[in-house]
Amino acid sequence: MKDVLNKLSKAAIDLGDYPFEKDSACWIGYNPATDEEIKKTESRLGVNFPSDFKEFMKISNGFPATSSIEPSFLSLSKIDYTKNIDPFLIKLWTDKSVVPNELAEKYERSITIGGINEEQMFMLIPPVNSNDDWEYWKFANWIPGEEPYSSLKDYFLRVIEFCKEEIKEN
């Protein structure tokens, strides 16, 4: 994950959508979270985060938006259930006359980890059963529906590719 985040930092700096403060290692991330901070957040939310999310937080407790169409990632202290962050949005997304029941239930238990007050958000969907996997969703007001990813690494690798494509076009 550290290697992926280093590549993402470099790609975001090269893309230049935002004027990043960078160190000599071309790192745009933040200070890492501690095990204690992760456990405290898990306890507050009543979940056990997926291992890749914990690994990400131990590298950088949050992460800035890497382009104008990607969300920033929140520090652990700001992560919460989407229903607590934006109850109106959840009310819209869980209208079962518009949204299939299975999706509505996922929205209701979603945890926002990125994009508060931004055009795009990133959510973790906790599993209902302990043998199920966590889900990773990106939302944007310009994307119809959720954009699922298999993992955080999968998402970050796709963002790196997007940045590289944008750099080539410009």
Contact assessment for residue 61 and residue 30, using Cβ atoms and an 8 Å cutoff = yes
Average pLDDT over residues 62-90: 93
d(CA 121, CA 112): 7
At residue 140 the predicted structure's pLDDT band, cuts being 50, 70 and 90, is confident
* Residue 100 clears pLDDT 70, i.e. is over it: no
What confidence tens digit (pLDDT) does each residue in 28-61 have? 899 999 999 999 999 999 999 999 999 999 999 9
pLDDT of residue 99: 63
Unique residue bearing structure tokens 């973790």: 124
Q: Both tokens of residue 155?
A: 């998402």
What confidence tens digit (pLDDT) does each residue in 11-26 have? 988 888 767 665 557 8
With 0.85 as the threshold, say if the pTM is over it: yes
Amino acid (1-letter code) at residue 94: T
Write down all domains in the chain, each with its CATH number in brackets.
2-169 (3.40.1580.10)
- Report how far Cα 20 is from the mean position of its chain's Cα atoms: 19
pLDDT of residue 91: 80
What confidence tens digit (pLDDT) does each residue in 82-94 have? 999 988 887 877 7
Q: Mean pLDDT score of the chain, rounded to an integer? A: 89
What confidence tens digit (pLDDT) does each residue in 123-134 have? 999 999 888 999
d(CA 148, CA 136): 6
At residue 79 the predicted structure's pLDDT band, cuts being 50, 70 and 90, is very high
What confidence tens digit (pLDDT) does each residue in 104-118 have? 788 889 999 999 989
Average pLDDT over residues 138-151: 87
